[in-house]
Amino acid sequence: MEKLRVLELYSGIGGMHYALKASLVPAEVVAAVDVNTTANEIYKHNFPNTLLLPKTIEGMTLNDFNKLDFNAILMSPPCQPFTRIGLQCDISDPRTKSFLYVLDLLPRFNKLPRFILLENVKGFETSSARDALIKTLKECNYSLQELMISPTCIGIPNSRLRYFLIATAFPGSFSFQTTPEILNGFPDSSSSDCTDSFSVPVSQCGGIRSETSDNGYVIYKLETAQDLERKRSQDSEETVQMLQAFLEEGQGMDMEHYRLPPKTLLRYALLLDIVQPNSRRSVCFTKGYGHYVEGTGSVLQSCTDVELETVFKCLEGLSDEEKLKQLSQLKLRYFTPREIANLMGFPSHFTFPEDISIKQQYRVLGNSLNVHVVSKLISLMVT
């Protein structure tokens, strides 16, 4: 096929670019556009030969776009206006302005892009911004498909449910039958876990418990019987890899820096989502990982010789010093940025500049996307 000339909008740290390379589709990124200085430094570090435009998208004129002579767009607009923990201001959020600007320009480009791929958070599918996107694409006679996909669908032990849209300017050219419904997973997927199952927020659960649930499991944290059943089901799903394949442990790494501090253990122990190297699941890593605890990502139990349930069942009634001694047996630690990058599909040669702090690394990774999922979608879109 003709080599694609790709415009990468909201380029971040280059997740779309890596996905494009992994798809093996003949293509070049003619320009990447992003206003985030930290993300741009990382992008330039890994793609020094790609034209990077450090500016706002709405600061580009129609002529600026036309000069780039692109025929495909990959984009991941800001998700904060649609995220579950945000204010969900949708199109009234100033951060949506640039996306609406792109939609306004699209029909006026010298040439309509042959392909468009968009990624965003769960919640975008019910937004006015999504309605505007669909309306614009249909008016331009695009053929399109919307999907909700998590990396667990392709065997990666990390829940990161996202909205995707793929579109082509050649109606009927997809290799599958499109539907106006949002697909749960890839068109060829037979997996039932492509959209994940989210647990009840811990703030809605009761206190520490140690009774037997209806399923015969011991409930020992701020979890419900349904939470435990879901986690056990995920860990028994053999089509999903174990976390140990993505870890740096055993490679001469000093993990003491990533151990959870005593204050965090004492305050948040009951809220932690704890996984082990042989687990086949982990919850979505967000930009607040390593800084905030609740809902930002799983932590790893490094010492697997200690029974997790035993430790938590014995906490009630203990002094802080005794609790800390109990919890310390687990050797709980954060996942390293490299391990999160591994789970998100970034290749081994992806690196951070030396001046990028650990906190900044967690932040930009939390704002990025799963490379393997997007790579498969690119292949699906252009094949």
* 348 part of a folded domain: no
Tell me the mean pLDDT in the region 352-373.
97
The pLDDT assigned to 130 comes to: 93
SS3 content of the chain, % helix, strand, coil (to 5): 35, 15, 50
Say if residue 189 is in the same domain as residue 217. no
Percent of the chain with pLDDT over 90: 72
Say if residue 215 is in the same domain as residue 164. no
* 261 part of a folded domain: yes
The pLDDT assigned to 222 comes to: 66
Cβ-proximal residues to 204 (8 Å cutoff; 6+ apart), any chain: none
Q: Are 242 and 157 in contact (CB under 8 A)?
A: yes
* 93 part of a folded domain: yes
Percent of the chain with pLDDT over 70: 86
* Torsion, Cα of 13, 17, 23, 27 (10° steps): -170
Residue 198 has pLDDT above 60, yes or no: no
Say if residue 61 is in the same domain as residue 142. yes
* 346 part of a folded domain: no
Tell me the mean pLDDT in the region 177-200.
73
The pLDDT assigned to 207 comes to: 44
* 349 part of a folded domain: no
Say if residue 70 is in the same domain as residue 170. yes
pLDDT band at 349 (very low <50, low <70, confident <90, very high): very high
Say if residue 108 is in the same domain as residue 182. yes
Report the mean per-residue pLDDT for the chain: 88
In angstroms, the Cα distances linking 127 to 99, 100, 121, 133, 182 are 13, 13, 11, 10, 14
Q: Are 150 and 160 in contact (CB under 8 A)?
A: yes
* 359 part of a folded domain: no
Q: How far apart are CA 46 and CA 128, in angstroms?
A: 35
pTM metric for this prediction:
0.90
Say if residue 318 is in the same domain as residue 187. no
In the 3-class helix/strand/coil scheme, how is 124-159 assigned residue by residue?
HHHCHHHHHHHHHHHHCCCEEEEEEECHHHHCCCCC
pLDDT digits (tens, 9 = 90+) for 200-232: 333 333 344 444 445 444 445 667 777 778 888
Letter string b/e over residues 272-292, b meaning 16 or more CB atoms within 10 A of that residue's CB: bbbbbbebbbbbbbbbbbbee
Residue 195 has pLDDT above 80, yes or no: no
Q: Is 79 a catalytic residue?
A: yes
Tell me the mean pLDDT in the region 23-41.
97
Say if residue 106 is in the same domain as residue 189. yes
The pLDDT assigned to 81 comes to: 56
Length of the chain, in residues: 383
The pLDDT assigned to 218 comes to: 46
Say if residue 110 is in the same domain as residue 218. no
Q: Into how many domains does the chain fold?
A: 2
Specify the CATH number for the domain of residue 303.
3.90.120.10
pLDDT band at 119 (very low <50, low <70, confident <90, very high): very high
Residue pointed to by tokens 């890596």: 18
Q: Which two tokens stand for residue 229?
A: 């059943």
What is the DSSP secondary structure assignment for residue 187, as one 8-state letter? T
Cβ-proximal residues to 165 (8 Å cutoff; 6+ apart), any chain: 116, 117, 118, 133, 144, 145, 146, 147
The pLDDT assigned to 208 comes to: 46
* 350 part of a folded domain: no
pLDDT band at 30 (very low <50, low <70, confident <90, very high): very high
Say if residue 148 is in the same domain as residue 89. yes
pLDDT digits (tens, 9 = 90+) for 275-333: 999 999 999 999 999 999 888 999 999 999 999 988 998 888 899 999 999 999 999 99
Say if residue 129 is in the same domain as residue 219. no
Tell me the mean pLDDT in the region 141-160.
96
Domain containing residue 254: 202-236+249-335
For strands 72-75 and 299-301, give the pairing. Answer: unpaired
* 208 part of a folded domain: yes
Q: Are 168 and 115 in contact (CB under 8 A)?
A: yes
Q: Which of 79, 194, 205, 284 is catalytic?
A: 79
Q: How far apart are CA 216 and CA 97, in angstroms?
A: 52
Residue 371 has pLDDT above 90, yes or no: yes
Query: In what order do the strands lie in the sheet containing 4-9?
Result: 52-53, 27-33, 4-9, 72-75, 115-121, 162-168, 143-149, 183-184
pLDDT digits (tens, 9 = 90+) for 71-97: 999 999 986 654 554 545 655 666 778
Specify the CATH number for the domain of residue 131.
3.40.50.150
The mean-pLDDT minimum among 106-115, 166-175, 270-279 falls in 166-175
The pLDDT assigned to 239 comes to: 92
Say if residue 83 is in the same domain as residue 186. yes
Say if residue 224 is in the same domain as residue 259. yes
Nearest to 366 by CA among 282, 283, 289, 286: 286
Please tell me the number of Cα atoms within 13 Å of 380 on its side-chain side. 23
